[in-house]
Amino acid sequence: MNAQVLHLGSDGRLTPADAQLAANVRSMFEMAKLEHGGMRALQQRMDAAYYDNEIANNPMNRERADRCDGIHVGERADAFGEANGLHIAKDLEYVHARALEEKTQPLNFFKFFRTGDGIPAGARTHTVRRFFTQGEAKFYAGAGSNVPTVSLTQAEEEFPVRHIVTSFETNVFELMSSGYAGVQEEQRKVRGARKVMDRFLNGVGWNGDAAANYYGVLSYPYLAKKSAATPFDGTAASGDDVLAELNAGANYAMEESGGTMMPNRCLTSIRVRNYLMQTQRSTASDKTIGQLFIEQNETINAIESARELRDVGGTGIDGILFYNDDKDSVCHETAGGVQMLPVQAHQFSSVRFMYMSSGGIVMRDAGNNLLLLVKAN
């Protein structure tokens, strides 16, 4: 472009021709600026496209991008596909309000034997006393003859009181969680502690504990014991032999005491009872051994079962207990019921201790009772 000279008029302004020239020059300059900026923007866009293409075609970058996409899809709550149903897993589940409790074996010690009048709390021992009368009488033989006298004596036996203990722990935060879940944790633990103490007492109530000098029903020192010569396992020569053994056991106390002592209950293991009540006396009889035994006995009207009498004489040797169910014959002497001590807390945890006291089994009239050991397996 050739150089142009602009002329000013007498009023200091450009002449019309020069003003038009200046406007044209300004317009050309602006267009040049725009063209330069556009080229630069176009070049930037091309560079960016090239960079994006290089990034996209890089295998490592593609793998990283796929992995990131997978993470986002897994975390997003709205990432379910159209194939998903309306309801989630627990929507259609019904939970019964009543929760099942653990099934445990029956505790027959509490079912079959009576409880005493109670030993006061704090007593360390309890004592049973018995009076004995001695003397004689005779016909009067006249003045000066000797007149016999009567004397009175007394004997006693002492038994220890033992304490059965257990405990359970709770935590403040666990209790809050249990409350939120609707689980009565502390109440259930109290019931659980009571169950384990009852289960322990059932065991020692039957079998005693020699180390603790604690008498049970089967370990009582004055309980008479006999062994049956006839097996009660189905191998006996005849049902009459089994019936004779049963009658001998039931009659033992009465015969030995001259009618002073007498049992009124017959208790045996589950398998022995089943054998007696389900085995016919003979092929010619329509009655079982057990039915005939009950018919022939004056005071015993049933054969009852307790699982605790299984294997009491060793493996395969079960027991048949003939006893009188009054308090003087077999009695569990208690010393108060279950007691719970105050909470002992440490920081956010606490412990509850529970106990109950027992004086063991006492058989004041042990002569009413007999344990007959029989081969059952």
| CATH class in words for 224-333+363-375 | alpha beta
Q: How far apart are the first and last CA of the chain?
A: 130
> For residue range 211-221, what is the model confidence (pLDDT) as tens digits?
999 999 999 99
pTM for the full model? 0.74
> For residue range 195-241, what is the model confidence (pLDDT) as tens digits?
999 999 999 999 999 999 999 999 999 999 999 999 999 998 889 99
pLDDT over 70 (residue 28): no
pLDDT over 70 (residue 4): no
Q: Give the start-end residues of each E strand in 172-315.
A: 224-227, 265-268, 303-305
- 3-class DSSP state for residue 160? strand
Taking alpha carbons only, the member of 355, 363, 294, 285 closest to residue 325 is 363
pLDDT over 70 (residue 343): yes
Residue type, 2: N
Task: Provide the pLDDT for residue 98.
Answer: 85
Residue type, 252: Y
pLDDT over 50 (residue 72): no
The whole-chain average pLDDT of the chain stands at: 86
pLDDT over 50 (residue 37): yes
Domain ranges (residues) in the chain = 224-333+363-375
Task: Provide the pLDDT for residue 89.
Answer: 82
Which of residues 266 and 43 earns the better pLDDT score? Answer: 266
Report the percentage of the chain scoring pLDDT > 90.
66
Taking alpha carbons only, the member of 225, 214, 193, 213 closest to residue 332 is 214
What's the CA dihedral at 279, 281, 284, 285 to 10 degrees? -90
Query: Cα–Cα distance between 247 and 297 in angstroms, integer?
Result: 8
Neighbouring CB atoms inside 10 A of 314's CB total 9
pLDDT over 70 (residue 250): yes
